[in-house]
Structure 1
Amino acid sequence: MSGSPARAVLSNLRRGSTLSHFTRSFLTGLGLVSGICGLGTGLFPDIAKEFGAPVLVAALTVALGYAAWAAWPRLSFSRDFALPATRISVVVGDLFAQDGHLVIGMSDTFDTELPVLIDHGSVQAQLLVREFGGDTARLDAELTAALAGHPVVGTETREAKPLGKLDRYPLGTVAVLGTEQRRYYGVAYSRMRNDYVCDSSVSHLWNALMELWPVVRNTAHLGTVSITAVGLGLARLSGRLSQADVVRLIIISYLTSSRDSVVAGHLRIVLAPGAAEQIDLRRLSNYLDAQ
């Protein structure tokens, strides 16, 4: 099925890096098994002569099995950090099926109206439908309360912007919704144009993330925070950043902010299965290990 974890695995199996890793692992495993067999031959030469062929087959089988295990794409991986004391995980799955708090990308107007202003397939639309039961009035009320202390940097006229909200907030503004047990961090990383197209840039996304993490630090109480690859799709960043680039940007911004003080006990980056098909998960795992 399209967009399934199985397709993500198959997509990664076809990558050249997987074949290279399989080959290296096979040679490593074969060398280790051969060394053990060589030691056994020296110690028990008579047994080696009698069972030479079966031992060879067994050695090849073990090496192939090890290589297949080592090269098989992982749909989740993580790293624990001592300084800062936190964990970062990357998982393939459903953002809204995760426990803890969630980060939701929004625009500078914090519009919520479906489907003209907010696409039905977006994370923000899923927030409305799955977490607020489709109750737009309730979501708008929470957004209004959360934004009450934030400055408004501009107000559109109804003639210029016939639909949606008129007040604009600085990019990087974070509206904290929900409860202490499950917060939703609505972070403005894009600008909603008056033709209802959202624009952003790499610097806007970076600055929004750097504004987000201090808010998380102050309100998440070292809990688990999950975020998806914000900044693509309607934000018009897909031509400038790949899915993997966005994940790396999230990791670097989080670790940079954590140098001052721990942001959360666990940052979980959730990749939708369709997004995971576009990413070399092994290289991403190696990147996380290298941090």
Structure 2
Amino acid sequence: MARIRVSVLGPATLEVDGVPVRLTPLTKRLLVRLVAAEGEPVPVRVLRRDVWAVDDERHSQAHRRRNEVQKRVLELRRALDPGQSGTGARVLRTEQLMAAPVPETAYRLVLGPGELDCADFTALVDSALLAAPASAADRLAAALALVRGRPLTEASDDAFALPLIRRLTALQETARRQLIRSRVELGRHDLALPVAERLVRERPDDPEAAALLDSLRERLRERHGRELLRQPVGVPGPDLVVVRGDLFDQHDANLVVGFTDTFDTATERDLVISRESVQGQLVERLFGGDRRSLDDRLQAGLKSVRPLRTERPQDKPRGRRVRYPLGTTVPLPVDGRRVFAVAYSRLGNDLVARSAPDELRASLDALWPAVARYGLFKPVALPLIGSGLARVVELDRTQLLLMIAESFAAHCRHEPATAPELRVVIRPADLERTDLSAVGAFLRTARHVGGAADGRW
């Protein structure tokens, strides 16, 4: 038997064995009229009236009337069954109605599961209304994907089609509202939003739909909070997120804190490390001012790292004198997460930290493997590294953010399971000097072309 697919959720179409079949306008209208009968037989005289718009014919014209209908019925059967396998007679049946004064010929369209889109649509929506949110969302999305336009488009103004059109239209609205509700219950407000927007476009005077859309938008704003940019890194890959705020308020994430190559922590009188720097805040915010505890953990992590050299006391009278390679990363366990202390600048003997773009990039490239290994697959947050006391003056804030994004993207092309999210935390004062649209454009392009050509900024 041929595989039939009749679609009326939009302009009527017919497919047989997956191949579209072209129908003449009159034969297509006959098909739509039989679909509108919803499985009931339609007498020849009714078909003449509804399809041919001919009524009140004299009895002498009855034979001609039957011949014209039979001709179109035969054409439709051939369209349904080009291989003459018997499908045409099964789907489009001839019956005799005995209720009239004389037996009357009628035709009935009988389509099974998977053969009529509006029947599949109805079954999916009906089952979804009794399902759990995840199953409901899946079925409702599948149902709405069947909709291509107004139901029974070719008969949208005909009385015979109005009952089915009204039922399908109402069911479509119910499906959209239930899909929004299901996605909200699943926490996917972002997926519920476009459904609500389409509902409002189609029902601009519906205050309930407008209120629903406003509520969704407000909840999305609340969910994003201070989030300014969210863009996937790679296909597949984690998200790169830019937020406005304080690094130490990212309680759900591992943190990246930049250090100098000596891993100094002393903030007394701001002589070695400034108390306003991220390193200085780390001591107060996560270690309660206990610098010794931080030092002990740093030194334990550095035992396995070979130093570059040790400065003489007369050359560097203050601070630590053992220097480590840039890119050295020490994962510090703190309250169930990690703080990644990464050396990305050199502390001169004059106690001034300095770094260059190539050194910063190399340090970032060395950071991500440590995050992948020790990060427990948590989100990882870092400040706009290089914009403060490290004095990477060759790059503006946009270029620094682009460097972070490109370095992370390059690593994730080889190891996408590094972290579910990289969160760059920008201070409000830095926002006006950072072009986030350029970063978003870079990430969108990099997903399709495999990243920047040379990875240098």
* TM norm structure 1: 0.71
Say yes or no: does 1:289 pair with 2:431: no
8 A Cα contact 2:379 2:419, kept in partner: yes
Say yes or no: does 1:86 pair with 2:238: yes
- Quote the residue 1:176 is aligned against: 331
The equivalent position to 1:76 in structure 2, one of 217, 228, 239, is: 228
Distance 2:234 2:344 in 1: 30
Q: What CA deviation, in whole Å up to 9, does each residue of 1:156-208 have, x standing for no partner?
A: 11111111111110111001112472211110001110010011111100000
- Quote the residue 1:60 is aligned against: none
- Quote the residue 1:249 is aligned against: 403
8 A Cα contact 1:84 1:261, kept in partner: no
Say yes or no: does 1:235 pair with 2:390: yes
| Structure 2 gaps, min length 5 | 1-216, 218-225, 447-457
Cα 1:251/1:82, change in 2 over 3 Å: closer
Instruction: Give the C-alpha shift of residue 81 in structure 1.
Output: 4.3
Instruction: Give the C-alpha shift of residue 104 in structure 1.
Output: 0.4
Distance 1:282 1:232 in 2: 19
Distance 2:441 2:362 in 1: 26
Secondary structure of the structure 2 residue equivalent to 1:223: coil
Matches within 5 A, 1:79-158: 79-81=231-233, 83-98=235-250, 99-114=252-267, 115-158=270-313
Letter in 1 for 2:411: S
Say yes or no: does 1:275 pair with 2:425: no
8 A Cα contact 2:347 2:353, kept in partner: yes
8 A Cα contact 2:227 2:241, kept in partner: no
Higher-Rg structure is 2
Distance 1:89 1:285 in 2: 10
Distance 1:258 1:288 in 2: 12
8 A Cα contact 1:192 1:198, kept in partner: yes
8 A Cα contact 2:233 2:409, kept in partner: no
Distance 1:157 1:219 in 2: 34
Instruction: Give the C-alpha shift of residue 211 in structure 1.
Output: 0.5
* TM norm structure 2: 0.46
- Quote the residue 2:415 is aligned against: 261
Instruction: Give the C-alpha shift of residue 144 in structure 1.
Output: 0.5
Say yes or no: does 1:207 pair with 2:362: yes
Aligned residues: 219
8 A Cα contact 1:100 1:181, kept in partner: no
Aligned-residue CA RMSD in angstroms? 1.9
| Structure 1 gaps, min length 5 | 1-68
Distance 1:282 1:151 in 2: 41
**Where in structure 1 do 4 or more consecutive aligned residues deviate above 4 Å?**
none
Q: What CA deviation, in whole Å up to 9, does each residue of 1:64-113 have, x standing for no partner?
A: xxxxx9xxxx8512023463421111111111101210000100000011
8 A Cα contact 2:231 2:440, kept in partner: no
Q: What CA deviation, in whole Å up to 9, does each residue of 1:127-164 have, x standing for no partner?
A: 11101111111111111011110001100111111111
Letter in 1 for 2:254: H
Secondary structure of the structure 2 residue equivalent to 1:255: helix
Letter in 1 for 2:248: F
